[in-house]
Structure 1
Amino acid sequence: MVIAVDGPTASGKGTLARRLAAHFGFAYLDTGSLYRAAALRLLRAGGDGADTDAAVAAAQGIGPDDLADPALREEATGNMASRVAALQPVRDALFALQRDFAACPPAGLPGAVLDGRDIGTVVCPDARVKLFVTADVAARARRRHLELTGQGQEVAYETVLRDLKDRDARDSARATAPLARADDAVLIDTTKLDIEAAFSAALEACASRMDGS
């Protein structure tokens, strides 16, 4: 059983995906963290995202410690991740890892929840449940700004809003696995929903798809 959760940054997809995994007892993979880890390794090596070979090497070197690095959530990491994610060789380097996770969840768990931007369209197109979580860009910028300032980072709301718009444009326009809603994905707009209401909507969608209706 695979649940694919896609959507743009700060839409709430990660929170929903983690809660769904806990609710059903499934394994959880934040696929965006893989690209962030590659981006962070690249940044620390002095790369700028234009060197495909360096980006691929960074992706191939990812280990458990990379995925636990708190710097993954920094804005510079996220912006670089959006750039390296547009490189097909980088996606190829991480594609098998994601599919293997979905096909054989760790610890023998009965299913997997993966969140990202192309899970329902590219990584797991046959997923039983597909959700596309979105929200108005202004609402997403407010959430992201609160998250960053709560971490002690000094950043203006206007800067966060601009970065989100730029990232949305890159993610949606890239030729390789663009951010897109799968034709059979259930849309959940969290602009005016709190987490409990969004989670209820996600559970309802999952129940419908799991029952085969």
Structure 2
Amino acid sequence: MSSIPVIAIDGPGGVGKGTLSRLLAARLGWHLLDSGAIYRAMGLAAAGAGLLKAGQAMDEAALTALARDLPLRFAEQDGQTRAYLGADDITEELRSAEAGQRASQVAVIPALRAALLQRQRDFRRMPGLVADGRDMGTVVFADAPLKIFLTASVEERSKRRLKQLLEQGASATLAQVETEIAERDRRDRERSVAPLLPAPDARLLDNSGQNIEETFRVLEGWARDTLGEFFCCQ
């Protein structure tokens, strides 16, 4: 598998990882892994099974068992990737702030993360993979030839997230979003397994003052520098 190249893009929420990963995968003609979608789906499944009730301690054994048999699949439909949990289309639900918070809750469980590890690694197929997440370069694809860690200030990420929520018709304030992002950052950094941090050999970029196009140009340049042969026929 190590012969199949991977570009691992990690970082906290609100840095544009999803959009940038899709752009880079499309540019290369590679497969795409949105690992956050897997954890968000896990959070939705856990809530649906009554395993994430407020004020109730998480049943880690039950959550891990659910993760092992998570009936999640992705399908291309009309040029878009749709996500299904069993027979239910959960594509829109995955984008909600609530799904993100639930994902962060379940992601702290070491056994659950282990249960989802191979599911993520199975996305590694020829001709290559762009993997978007929080531990792609440190755990899931530690042998990736190009590891990128994106960051931005909490203030900037909150503004981006609020804009996204309002465009989706959701009701939120900047203060609420800042609180949610800061709390998720704390959980992601402090979890005992695969905490959010850059790999030692990752290339770092703070894109607080950049738009998506500017950041993409930087990432594309890094990809050309590291994996130039894969651009030969583009």
**TM more than 0.5:** yes
What TM-score, normalized to structure 2?
0.84
CA contact (8 A) 1:39 1:55 kept: no
1:124 aligned to which of 117, 137, 141: 141
Aligned residue pair count: 207
String of CA shifts for 1:115-156, please: whole Å, max 9, x gaps: 100000001111011111111111000010111111111111
Instruction: Tell me how far 1:9 sits from its aligned partner.
Output: 0.4
Higher helix share: 1
Instruction: Tell me how far 1:211 sits from its aligned partner.
Output: 4.6
2:71 aligned to which of 52, 57, 62: 62
Q: Which moved more, 1:64-73 or 1:127-136?
A: 64-73
Gaps of 5+ in 2: 74-83, 230-234
Residue in 1 aligned with 2:42? 38
Instruction: Tell me how far 1:100 sits from its aligned partner.
Output: 2.1
CA contact (8 A) 1:39 1:58 kept: no
Q: Distance in 1 between matches of 2:165 and 2:63?
A: 26
Gaps of 5+ in 1: none
Residue in 2 aligned with 1:156? 173
Q: Distance in 2 between matches of 1:150 and 1:58?
A: 33
CA contact (8 A) 2:6 2:144 kept: yes
String of CA shifts for 1:42-95, please: whole Å, max 9, x gaps: 112222171112322332323221374311111121111101111011111110
Instruction: Tell me how far 1:32 sits from its aligned partner.
Output: 0.7
Residue in 1 aligned with 2:100? 78
1:112 aligned to which of 121, 129, 151: 129
Higher strand share: 2
CA contact (8 A) 2:110 2:192 kept: no
Q: Which has the larger radius of gyration?
A: 2
Q: Which moved more, 1:37-46 or 1:117-126?
A: 37-46
Q: Which moved more, 1:45-54 or 1:160-169?
A: 45-54
**Which residues in structure 2 correspond to 1:1-20 (within 5 Å)?**
1-20=5-24
Q: Distance in 2 between matches of 1:168 and 1:206?
A: 27
SS at match of 1:101: coil
Identity %: 41
Name the aligned partner's letter for residue 98 of structure 1: Q
Name the aligned partner's letter for residue 55 of structure 1: L
1:24 aligned to which of 17, 25, 28: 28
Residue in 1 aligned with 2:197? 180
